[in-house]
Structure 1
Amino acid sequence: MINKIKQRHGTAKGRIIRMIAAAAVAAMLPACANTSGKAYSSKETDLAAPAELVFYAASTSMTPELFEEKIAGPVRTKYPQYTLKYIPPGTDLTGLITAGTVPDILWLSLSEMRKHVLQLKLQYDLTELITKNKYDLSRFDPSAVQTIRNVSGDGKIFGLPDSFNPMVLFYNKDVFDRFGVPYPTNGMTWDGAYELARKLTRTDSGVSYRGMGMFYRLVFNGNQLSLPLIDASTAKPLAAATPNWKRLLDSTKRFYEIEGNMAGFKQGSDGNSELNSFLTERNIAMIVSPLSSYNREGFQKLNWDMTAAPTFADLPKVGFQSEPRVYFITGGKHKEQAFQSVTHLLSDEVQIKNNKEGQLTSLKNEEVRKTFGQQTPALAGKNTGAVYFNQFAPTPAFNPNFSTDPATILAKEFGDVIIGKQDVNSALRNTDEKIAKAIEEEKAAAK
């Protein structure tokens, strides 16, 4: 389940509607519910009493059937007094809230958090609930907790991590076999991947084979150097003023400069076309893409495997950022019941089942991790150990006040670098200019 390209909500009308929704949330939440984490309850909640919890997921992958299997069913088994109400992805949360229905639990990526939590003022600091219930955050991969604290700000924690979707390197075994080149392995550096790509970029029997493709928006978005594109405190663009952004773009660009590696290249806005070509043309030897890509149609017809994503030589085993999918709990009257439900969904029992079925757990328990993909036919015989081989890079703090998606802006500029329309320095300058313009537009619309 990968992050979709976010659209800006730049009209004054849209801002006004969200402000009304935020005010409606504040009016509907009890006085004891607040985002500061201070006294959240004036009396003990009767957790044995029936309660209806409203659940929302932005991802279209959360179908009613999956919701029943992965969310409602497990909660009902543990807490039969709770009923979970499913709100379909794509629902207008602003209108829903204004009409009086506030979600209790939201299952979101961090990029979705801005729109569906922060801009609607649904964030709630779980610190007191965690303390009251003696809930052990050390159960999770520390990078996931650090990431959530970073994006929550001031040490707060607005949600608990459910699953990961790490970047990996997929490869077409038939291309490697055709040219007698050994398969890539876990622990490979970007330099090593580059040399492999050079060996595999060639023409044979009239077919142009490409050594490497990239889902480059995501390579930049969760980059291994932990580089932000916007300063978290000042909201100033950082691309051109940060030398390591040039390093990262130069490292990525060199793969496209291999003679022949542009053969049949289809320019897109973010690298998704590269993944499509990997699956349909079957002439690309390797591609760096999110783990969840294996669910795409076409993989079942491909003789593929995967390794851990390549790393920089001076940062061995530092992979991409974690970008966990998170259960956010709002501060409504059912927050304690929601907390109980979510912590059950994050129990070893439920996580093992999901992990076996291909939803990569955020828990650090090695016995749980080892079960990944065991009941996933598409992963049978694959190098599933690749998913945890690297450590997650730290995720930098981001500014929660703007919905601008800087990685998409950068990826579009990089697309012009690939086809020779501009150089890397120009791409970084243009990225900064467009980010700054987008932020100014949002500020103006908010007035």
Structure 2
Amino acid sequence: MVNRIKRKHGKRKDKDLVKLLLAAAAVAALIPACSNAPGKADLSKAADLSAPAELVFYAASSSMTPELFEEKIAGPVRTKYPQYTLKYIPPGTDLTGLITSGTVPDVLWLSLSEMRKHLLQLRLQYDLTELITKNKYDLNRFDPAAVQTIRNVSGDGKIFGLPDSFNPMVLFYNKDVFDRFGVPYPTNGMTWDGAYELARKLTRSDSGVSYRGMGMFYRLVFNGNQFSLPLIDASTAKPLASSTPNWKRLLDNTKRFYEIEGNMAGFKTGSDGNSELNSFLTDRNMAMIVSPLSSYNREGFQKLNWDMVAAPTFPELPKVGFQSEPRVYFITGGKYKEQAFQAVAHLLSDEVQIKNNKDGQLTSLKNEEVRKTFGQQTPALSGKNTSAVYYNQFAPTPAFNPNYSTDPATILAKEFNEVLAGKQDVNSVLRSTDEKIAKAIEEEKAAAK
């Protein structure tokens, strides 16, 4: 998710910070109309949307290959607006260097975790409110949690982008393990208590094989938690883990699954939960795992007899799932902002979203006719319980502080390993998490001076 601070490479980090500051200065010079710049965009003069324009797109995710960019973005836009040329900036490009050389992306396709580094720290954010009003664009087309999430993380109710797709947390299960022991499959609407009872039944040894009832990608369980709890106060940058009671509730809930006798057989210490997903796929002795929907694309799923259900929920939060973690089209305040808005609006049309949704890219639209097409043209999802993906409501993502690149969920997950290893209790880990988050923020402040 958000890039971690490279503490062992202080000099490199200082150089990176200098590059970020230079890039931010370049943006301020090149895009005076950005929402954080002194002036406001002048949209009183109508842009000539029929004239040729080169729109620069940047994607931070390695999943956006040149081929996928052509299929999912460039192709649809070119078909609708042949006067536009789309320039593709691939993942891994030195974006700060690109900006300082004079090329500023018009559109960035980012997750919220990528937003901090690639949008906010480079001061590329632009409030779309005026463009939305001018174009009479209906935000009610989207899942309300996605729009609220974008407003929350933008601050002051601003909206810096429009949501494209979701990657919700779901519960995957290995049908062969359930069949082996004659245990009924999990269902949509299950609570954490229900999942715990299933995990207890399925954690056992049979014919020399240790079977595990439940694993979790717990960094993401914490990061997208169902209580919408932040680890850092958005306004004060104060760590919140030990002072927020429900953080203990979340860690205790995760911990109890690993305390089931035998459920840590073969567990790989030092992980953030990613190795649990690998174990689910390769060892094939784990009955269930809570992990992002996109996990089904990993190598190994095609060899597994699997299905999925909605993620378990807390009784006090019925049908409230994890946070949405949307992929968002962020539009900057450059020369072609109106053309970029027009292109993005087409990419978010029912027509384009239906195609993407059928191909397994979960739409952010709330239109039930669009939603029910999910996975229809995705072989890996054929015969699967695709109703799981929208069964729960998304929990809203809390606001975060845009000034720091510290990834608090990674820090918490690393500390949580001390709980799983029996070296620390939950309260101690919450305190140590706060201490390490505070230290990381202080290091960033010092480096910025």
TM class by smaller structure: over 0.9
Change (3 A) 1:112 1:33: closer
Rounded to whole Å, the distance in 2 between the matches of 1:361 and 1:7 is: 32
1:132 corresponds to which of 124, 131, 134: 134
Q: Is the 8 A contact 1:55 1:85 kept in 2?
A: yes
Q: Is the 8 A contact 1:166 1:387 kept in 2?
A: yes
The AA in structure 2 aligned to 1:250 is D
Q: Is the 8 A contact 2:34 2:124 kept in 1?
A: no
Q: Is the 8 A contact 2:319 2:393 kept in 1?
A: yes
2:255 is matched with: 253
Rounded to whole Å, the distance in 2 between the matches of 1:33 and 1:323 is: 25
Q: Which moved more, 1:370-379 or 1:40-49?
A: 40-49
Rounded to whole Å, the distance in 1 between the matches of 2:283 and 2:34 is: 54
Q: 5+ unaligned residues in a row in structure 1: which ranges?
A: none
1:161 is matched with: 163
Rounded to whole Å, the distance in 2 between the matches of 1:173 and 1:413 is: 32
Displacement, 1:34?
4.0
1:2-401 residue pairs with structure 2 within 5 A?
3=1, 6-8=4-6, 11-29=13-31, 31-35=32-36, 38-41=40-43, 43-401=45-403
2:436 is matched with: 434
Q: Which moved more, 1:55-64 or 1:36-45?
A: 36-45
Q: Is the 8 A contact 1:8 1:403 kept in 2?
A: no
Displacement, 1:39?
3.9
Q: Is the 8 A contact 2:350 2:370 kept in 1?
A: yes
Partner SS, residue 411 of structure 2: helix
The AA in structure 1 aligned to 2:171 is L
The AA in structure 2 aligned to 1:423 is D
Rounded to whole Å, the distance in 2 between the matches of 1:274 and 1:329 is: 36
Rounded to whole Å, the distance in 2 between the matches of 1:118 and 1:4 is: 12
Rounded to whole Å, the distance in 1 between the matches of 2:328 and 2:417 is: 31
Q: Is the 8 A contact 1:32 1:42 kept in 2?
A: no
The AA in structure 1 aligned to 2:164 is D
Displacement, 1:35?
3.8
Partner SS, residue 387 of structure 2: helix
Partner SS, residue 339 of structure 1: helix
Partner SS, residue 187 of structure 1: coil
Give CA-to-partner distance per residue, 1:8-36, whole Å, 9 cap, x none. 5863332222111111111112x445447
Q: Is the 8 A contact 2:162 2:330 kept in 1?
A: yes
The AA in structure 2 aligned to 1:173 is K
Q: Which moved more, 1:58-67 or 1:7-16?
A: 7-16
Partner SS, residue 24 of structure 1: helix
The AA in structure 2 aligned to 1:376 is T
Displacement, 1:42?
5.2
Q: Is the 8 A contact 1:32 1:41 kept in 2?
A: no
Structure 1 residue ranges, 4+ long, deviating more than 6 angstroms after superposition: none
Displacement, 1:5?
5.2
Rounded to whole Å, the distance in 2 between the matches of 1:371 and 1:40 is: 40
The AA in structure 2 aligned to 1:388 is Y
Identity across the alignment (%): 86
Give CA-to-partner distance per residue, 1:93-124, whole Å, 9 cap, x none. 01000111000000000010000000000000
Structure 1 length as normaliser, TM-score? 0.97
Rounded to whole Å, the distance in 2 between the matches of 1:6 and 1:182 is: 41
Give CA-to-partner distance per residue, 1:182-236, whole Å, 9 cap, x none. 0000000000000000000000000000000000000000000111100111100
Q: Is the 8 A contact 1:269 1:408 kept in 2?
A: no
Structure 2 length as normaliser, TM-score? 0.97
